[in-house]
Amino acid sequence: MNNVYIVEPIGVHKATIVWLHDIGLKGVDSVQPLQSLGLPNIKWICPTAPTRRVTSLGGEETTAWCDITKVSESMHHDFEALDNVNSFVAGLFSSEPEHVIKGVGGVGLVAAQALYFASNYTFGGVTINLKIVVGINADDVAFSAFARICADSLHLAGFPIIHK
């Protein structure tokens, strides 16, 4: 995983958010939309996913954070890939100042990856002091009962849950 693009804060650096792009895109594709938000105190880290074959796209080779081979409630077959992305994201925070608020987010399928990162923080699998989680336009990739369990876990950890 390489090609990491950084949007530096133009004001006082108060937060760093690792922003994950959707399937088929690159980190650079996120730079202009994030700059247009006009959030002067946030540093955005926009990495590019590796190129891999994606099962849900008929084996097409494209940039993707992981290959979710099938949707199931247990997802044991996909945890290794999800955990590898979590380790990569945690590594991106390693050089960030301790006092800076840290967050992770994404659009589309990787919104689920951001939520998985947050759930791992909640249960001690990720040691980053995470305060922000953003998931936009997330695909409905979880059974509703499983999604409810995840939402309850995040809520118990202090994250506000907004269903739209």
User: Which CATH number covers residue 125?
Assistant: 3.40.50.1820
Q: Which tens digit of pLDDT belongs to each residue from 78-112?
A: 778 888 899 999 999 999 999 999 999 998 878 88
Residue 23 backbone zone (phi > 0: left; psi -120 to 50: alpha; other: beta): beta
Backbone angles phi, psi at 156, to 5 degrees: -60, -30
Please check whether residue 127 lies inside any domain of the structure: yes
Please check whether residue 128 lies inside any domain of the structure: yes
The two structure tokens encoding residue 89: 């994201």
The two structure tokens encoding residue 152: 């309850």
Domain hosting 142: range is: 5-156
- DSSP letter at 127 equals -
Q: Find tokens 């922000």 and name the residue.
A: 132
**One-letter identity of residue 158:** G
Please check whether residue 163 lies inside any domain of the structure: no
> Is the pLDDT at 41 greater than 70, yes or no?
yes
Please check whether residue 103 lies inside any domain of the structure: yes
**One-letter identity of residue 56:** S
Q: In the chain, how many domains are there? A: 1
Please check whether residue 43 lies inside any domain of the structure: yes
Question: From edge to edge, which strands make up the β-sheet containing 130-136?
Answer: 5-7, 42-46, 15-20, 101-107, 130-136
Write the CB contacts of 99 (distance below 8 Å, at least 6 apart in sequence).
none
Please check whether residue 146 lies inside any domain of the structure: yes
> Is the pLDDT at 66 greater than 60, yes or no?
yes
pLDDT attached to residue 135: 84
pTM listed for this prediction? 0.81
pLDDT attached to residue 35: 96
Q: Which tens digit of pLDDT belongs to each residue from 109-140?
A: 788 888 888 888 877 788 888 999 998 875 55
Please check whether residue 133 lies inside any domain of the structure: yes
Please check whether residue 162 lies inside any domain of the structure: no
Of 19-33, 86-100, 102-116, 149-163, the one with minimum mean pLDDT is 149-163
